[in-house]
Amino acid sequence: MVMNSMIHSFLKQSELQSARVQATEAKARAFEAKAQVAKSKVTEFQTRLLKAVDCTRKWEVEAKSRGEHIDGMVKEVDEKKLFLLSV
Protein backbone atom coordinates (compact mmCIF):
# COMPACT_ATOMS: atom_id res chain seq x y z
CA MET A 1 0.00 0.00 0.00
CA VAL A 2 2.80 2.40 0.90
CA MET A 3 4.58 1.47 -2.32
CA ASN A 4 1.48 2.34 -4.39
CA SER A 5 1.26 5.69 -2.62
CA MET A 6 4.92 6.43 -3.36
CA ILE A 7 4.50 5.47 -7.01
CA HIS A 8 1.37 7.61 -7.30
CA SER A 9 3.20 10.54 -5.68
CA PHE A 10 6.16 10.12 -8.03
CA LEU A 11 3.86 10.04 -11.08
CA LYS A 12 2.08 13.20 -9.93
CA GLN A 13 5.42 14.98 -9.46
CA SER A 14 6.52 13.80 -12.88
CA GLU A 15 3.32 15.13 -14.46
CA LEU A 16 3.74 18.48 -12.72
CA GLN A 17 7.35 18.72 -13.85
CA SER A 18 6.34 17.89 -17.41
CA ALA A 19 3.66 20.60 -17.31
CA ARG A 20 6.23 23.12 -16.03
CA VAL A 21 8.64 22.20 -18.82
CA GLN A 22 5.89 22.60 -21.43
CA ALA A 23 4.92 25.99 -19.98
CA THR A 24 8.55 27.13 -20.05
CA GLU A 25 8.92 25.96 -23.64
CA ALA A 26 5.77 27.85 -24.62
CA LYS A 27 7.13 31.01 -22.97
CA ALA A 28 10.41 30.55 -24.84
CA ARG A 29 8.59 30.23 -28.17
CA ALA A 30 6.57 33.37 -27.41
CA PHE A 31 9.76 35.24 -26.53
CA GLU A 32 11.44 34.07 -29.75
CA ALA A 33 8.44 35.29 -31.75
CA LYS A 34 8.63 38.70 -30.06
CA ALA A 35 12.36 38.86 -30.72
CA GLN A 36 11.77 38.09 -34.40
CA VAL A 37 9.20 40.90 -34.63
CA ALA A 38 11.66 43.30 -32.97
CA LYS A 39 14.41 42.22 -35.35
CA SER A 40 12.21 42.85 -38.38
CA LYS A 41 11.31 46.30 -37.02
CA VAL A 42 15.00 47.13 -36.60
CA THR A 43 15.69 45.94 -40.13
CA GLU A 44 12.83 48.06 -41.44
CA PHE A 45 14.17 51.08 -39.55
CA GLN A 46 17.67 50.52 -40.92
CA THR A 47 16.24 50.31 -44.45
CA ARG A 48 14.35 53.57 -43.96
CA LEU A 49 17.42 55.29 -42.59
CA LEU A 50 19.59 54.08 -45.47
CA LYS A 51 16.98 55.42 -47.91
CA ALA A 52 17.07 58.74 -46.06
CA VAL A 53 20.86 58.79 -46.32
CA ASP A 54 20.64 58.13 -50.05
CA CYS A 55 18.15 60.99 -50.42
CA THR A 56 20.43 63.24 -48.40
CA ARG A 57 23.34 62.36 -50.67
CA LYS A 58 21.18 63.16 -53.68
CA TRP A 59 20.22 66.51 -52.14
CA GLU A 60 23.89 67.21 -51.41
CA VAL A 61 24.82 66.60 -55.04
CA GLU A 62 21.95 68.80 -56.22
CA ALA A 63 22.89 71.54 -53.73
CA LYS A 64 26.54 71.45 -54.78
CA SER A 65 25.51 71.73 -58.41
CA ARG A 66 23.68 74.93 -57.44
CA GLY A 67 26.69 76.18 -55.46
CA GLU A 68 25.12 75.48 -52.02
CA HIS A 69 26.66 73.43 -49.21
CA ILE A 70 24.98 71.08 -46.73
CA ASP A 71 28.09 69.15 -45.67
CA GLY A 72 27.42 69.31 -41.92
CA MET A 73 24.09 67.56 -42.21
CA VAL A 74 25.45 64.92 -44.56
CA LYS A 75 28.38 64.17 -42.25
CA GLU A 76 26.00 63.61 -39.31
CA VAL A 77 23.81 61.30 -41.37
CA ASP A 78 26.86 59.37 -42.60
CA GLU A 79 27.97 58.78 -39.00
CA LYS A 80 24.53 57.36 -38.17
CA LYS A 81 24.64 55.19 -41.28
CA LEU A 82 28.05 53.79 -40.33
CA PHE A 83 26.80 53.03 -36.83
CA LEU A 84 23.76 51.15 -38.14
CA LEU A 85 25.81 49.21 -40.63
CA SER A 86 28.14 48.12 -37.84
CA VAL A 87 25.25 46.72 -35.75
pTM of the model: 0.53
Q: Render pLDDT for 61-83 as a digit per residue (tens, 0 to 9).
A: 887 787 776 655 556 666 666 66
pLDDT of 71 reads 59
Q: How far apart are the first and last CA of the chain?
A: 64
pLDDT of 19 reads 93
Name the DSSP class of 67.
T
